[in-house]
Every structure is written in structure tokens, then in C-alpha cells.
Amino acid sequence: MVIDRPVTIGIVAGEASGDILGAGLIRSLRKRYPRARFVGIGGDEMIAAGFHSLVPMERLSVMGLVEVLGRLRELFSIRDRLLDYFLSNVRPDVVIGIDSPDFSLEVERRCRNAGILTAHYVSPSVWAWRRKRVFRIARSVDLMLTLFPFEARFYEEHQVPVSFVGHPLADMIPLETDTAGARERLGGGA
């Protein structure tokens, strides 16, 4: 079903994998919502798909405690600027955080508290470690979108609304290997 009214979709991606997933999400949503506007924080892949990024995604890409602490003030400033944009300027119909849970979940929580629908795409590994984060997630998102079925079961057990959407690589990797074709492409013969 194609919906031909304008919608605004806020997206937050903080790393390269989220940028790739976000670009695929934008392309998929655009088929259903051709007049949609996509805004927030994303990288080159999302921008190429028609996304407007407030700041370069690389500004969120930090690893390790030392780097995070060294850039904490900047990260808070980016978060506050994004929230001001979402809550005071554009009021998106939905805000979707992609991965980067330490940044995205706080944005999602505040947007949800302001009455904006929220979703999170790519579950943090709460099923493996720091399981109590599921309660923070429950307060932050209206819907968790998982890549793997076992993640969906975990959220169902914790009464968090969830939808298993599958991993995008599953559509790209064949279930059966073409061994002869692979050998030929690699120059090894049959």
C-alpha cells in the first residue's frame, strides 16, 4: 500500500553499519511513502538515498571509554541539537534509532516522552550481556526491530513490542553455494 501524504521520518545512525542499514531502510520506506522526508543524523549512504543529515555521522563514531570521555561535551551538544530539531522544528511522525544504543536510546526516550512514535532498528546485545538494559529500551521505544528471530523472542518475553524484520544480508547471500561458479570466477576451473 502506497501512502501519498507527506511524512517526516527522523533517523539516527552513528556508525558505518547503521549508515548502510539506514540507506536500505530509506529506500524501502520511500516505496511505501514516496513523499517522505528523512532527517536526522546519517552518513554518505543515507545521504545518497535522499537523507538530510544535521551533522556528519562521523562525529558520533567514537569507540572506547577514553575517546567517549574526551568527546562527551560534543556528543551531548549534538544530542541536544538533534532533540531541539526534532521536538521544536520538524516533529517527525516517527524517530528510528539504528544501532548506536548509547546515543540513540536517549534520543528515542525523549522523543517518545514528547509524544513522537519511536522505533529502534538493530537490537543491542541485551540477551548476551547487561540484560537489565531491556527496561531502558522498554521506556524508550514503541517498537524494537530485530535482525534475528531469537532477539524477537527475548523482547516478547520482556513485553517489549517487537517485530522481527530479518537481516538484510539474508537477501543478498544465496542459501545454496554455486561452488563451480565460484571456482570459475576465481580462476580455479571446474
Contacts of 96 (CB under 8 A, 6+ apart): 9, 10, 11, 12, 25, 118, 119, 120, 121, 145
Q: What is the CATH number of the domain that holds 96?
A: 3.40.50.2000
What pLDDT does 39 receive?
Answer: 98
**Alpha carbons within 13 A on the beta-carbon side of 168:** 14
Cα 106 to Cα 12, 36, 57, 111, 129: the distances in Å are 11, 24, 17, 9, 19
Estimate to the nearest angstrom the gap between the alpha carbon of 111 and the chain centroid.
15
* Contact of 33 with 7, CB cutoff 8 Å: yes
Residue 2 counted as domain residue: no
Summarize pLDDT for 10-51 with one digit per residue, the tens. Answer: 999 999 999 999 999 999 999 999 999 999 999 999 999 999
Assigned C-alpha cell, 185: 570466477
151-174 tens-digit pLDDT: 899 999 999 999 998 777 545 555
Q: 3 in a domain, yes or no?
A: no
Q: Is residue 51 part of a domain?
A: yes
Pairing of strands 51-56, 94-98: unpaired
pTM value is 0.84
- Residue 118: strand pairing partners: 95
Residue 41, domain extent: 8-185
Residue 190, domain member (yes or no): no
1 occurs within a structural domain: no
Domain count, the chain: 1
Render pLDDT for 49-86 as a digit per residue (tens, 0 to 9).
999 999 999 888 776 676 667 677 888 999 999 999 99
Task: Name residue, grid cell 528515542.
Answer: 108
